[in-house]
Each structure stands twice: as structure tokens, then as C-alpha cells.
Structure 1
Amino acid sequence: MSVAEKPLIPIAGETRNGRRPVAQSGANPVMIDRGSPIPSVPVKLVTAEGTTDTTSDVALGTGTVVFFAVPGAFTPTCHVNHLPGFVANLTKLRAAGVDRVVCASVNDAHVMKAWAEASNALGEIDFIADGNGALAEAMGLAKDYSGAGMGKRFARSAMIIRDGIADAVFVEDAPGVNASGAPAILMALEAARS
């Protein structure tokens, strides 16, 4: 099955006004899916202008946003494959109608800023520091990497978000960057335009 044909991961729960809710506080989170609003949790947004305290729904809520999440800044696959793929494809993503590209990880804002600078991505891509993993949990994308000494982190994933609503969700089901990489997102954007 090609990446473009890969089915979106289903979500449990009822639909309200055509939009599926993400788990409420205290409940076991269900994975965010197409039609789900972006949850609102405190995060730090790292941009070329500096670091600001905001909420995830504000940081991701306007326009067409490609959001991708990685297990950790500077970790091998994230640093060598995932982030560089988006940096290399920024022109194509913008030509496909993307307003912003945002990367998130369960790291503090200082690490995210250092990674953005080291990757020549600061000012091109915005970064969300999800230091406590609240966004990963709220999106149902928290994954236990304790075996690697990393604790709970984001599962490697990506989304196309339109005005605060998840339009497409891609979660890697094996190590590496395939379904959540920039080429796969470009294919999905092109398929949506056809």
C-alpha cells in the first residue's frame, strides 16, 4: 500500500457537528483523527522571534499547517531524516498551499531552539516544546520510549491541519520516516487538490 493510500487511523467516540472530540481531561486519550479539533494545552512556541507561552490550539489554529512530531530533538532519525526532509521541501510545501510547518517534541524550549538553530530551520519552521508531554497525551500520540531511556514522547507522526481541525493524520507504525515524512505529506496535499 502506498503512503497516499494508507488509511487514517480510526478514532473512538461520537461525532459532534461532524467533528470528533479528543479525549477529555482525566479520560484515556484517544488518538486524534480527521475532523478532530486541535486540543488546547499549554506549550512553548519557538520561532525566530523568540519563545512564547501559548496553547496548542492557538499555535496550530490558523491557516493550513503541516504539523509533525518527533520522539526527540537531536535523536538520530529525527535529526538526520525527519526534520531535514521538511526543511528541504519547504518551497514545495508552500507551493501546495501550506502556510506554516510546525515541529513538536517532548523537549524543553532551550533544546528545541538549539536544535532549530543547528538544523538551519529557525525562521523557516516553527517549533513546539511540549516539555511535559501534555500535547502528546492530549492528541493520543504519547508513546513509551522508556526502553531507550527517554520516557514518554511523541510517536513519530504528522498532520495536515486546516484552521485548527485535523484534516489528515499519519502515524508511523514502524521505525523510520515513511508515512510522516515530507514526501508523504506532499503526496497527500496533492491528492487532496485533485
Structure 2
Amino acid sequence: MAYNNDYEIEISDDSEATTATTDVESSSFRDKPATNIKEKKISSSKSKRRCIFNQQWLKDPKYAPFLRECRANKYFAHCSICKSNFSISNGGVYLINRHIEFANHKRFAEIQAKKNSRSICDFIPPSSALTKLTAAELSLVYHGVRHGYSYISQSCTVDLLKKIFNESEIGQNISCGKTKARELSVNVLGELILSIVLLVLGNKIN
């Protein structure tokens, strides 16, 4: 009986151990999916916190001159000054402000500011030079009309003159393509010749 008792005790111990082991395994098995669900929830919540481009930034005077939306990726922004895209997904406005402080951005911004600060008067020759330039263009058009040159050949001649007289101020600034040559011929020289003819005819009639 003692052996049987011992045997029963051993069996009961094993069964309890087996049951305990099974309970541990089942509990750990039940816990694993819950852990995975939590991890998935955490990862999904992190992905939701990524910053995307905000259209309101374009209304901010600080960012409006250079900031553009990157249409290829909503987690990026485009800088029109640097001609490059940069990520905003992990910082938003902070990353935009950091981009402004980069040396390359500051250098390109200074160049852009100098270009924008130039007055339109910088591109217009002085009055004396402008008068000479106008006379040269009208003379060229008159010469072409008198000899029956086409406006296309007129434009080609101007391109040639720019290369030949590259050190001349008039040679560099002259511009007389086919459209401008026609306008000068019809609306300037044509009107002038018509007024002269009418004046001569009027004097003869009187």
C-alpha cells in the first residue's frame, strides 16, 4: 500500500506539474497575442504621429517666399531657393526652421535677394544710348524692307551682328526679331511714310 501510495503521490505530483506546466504554457500563449496587439497599436500610433505638409505654412510670411509642397511625398517639403526636398515627417515646423539655418540655404537666399532687389531701371539703357539703339533698329528694318528681306532673315542678321559687334553697347543690346521687325515696319516706318505722302499730296492739291 505504501508503494501504491507513493506511486499515487508521484502520479499526482506529475499530473500537478504537468497541469501547472500546461497552465503556464497556455497562459503564456494567451499573453503573446495580447503583446503583439499592443506592439501593433504602439507602432500604428507612431505612424499616425508623422507630420505631413500643412497648407497653412504657405500663408506664413516667414515660409511663403521659399516653402512649397512636395507633391511626390506628403512627408516632405520643397525649398524653391535650394531647389531641393527635405523631410518634415519627424519634426514639422522644427525641421523647416532647421533647414533655414543651413549654410547652403542662407547662401542661395542671399543670391536670390540680390536678384530681386535690382531695379527695372538697371535693365533700361540711358536715354542717349536708348536713342541710338532705336535708330539702329529702325535703320536695320528700313534696310531690310527696301531690299525685300524677310522678317526671318532680319532676325538672323541681328543674331549675327551680336556676335560680330560683341564689344559694342548697341551690338549687345540690339533686338529685332521677326515680330518686332514687322511692328517697326508697319506701325512706325509705315505710319511715317504714310504721313509724308499725305502731306505731299495735300500740298500739291492746295
Bigger share in strand: 1
Bigger share in helix: 2
- Which TM class, normalised by the smaller chain length? under 0.3
Between Structure 1 and Structure 2, whose CA radius of gyration is higher? Answer: 2
TM normalised by structure 2 equals 0.21
Whose RCO is larger (CA < 8 A, sep 6+)?
A: 1
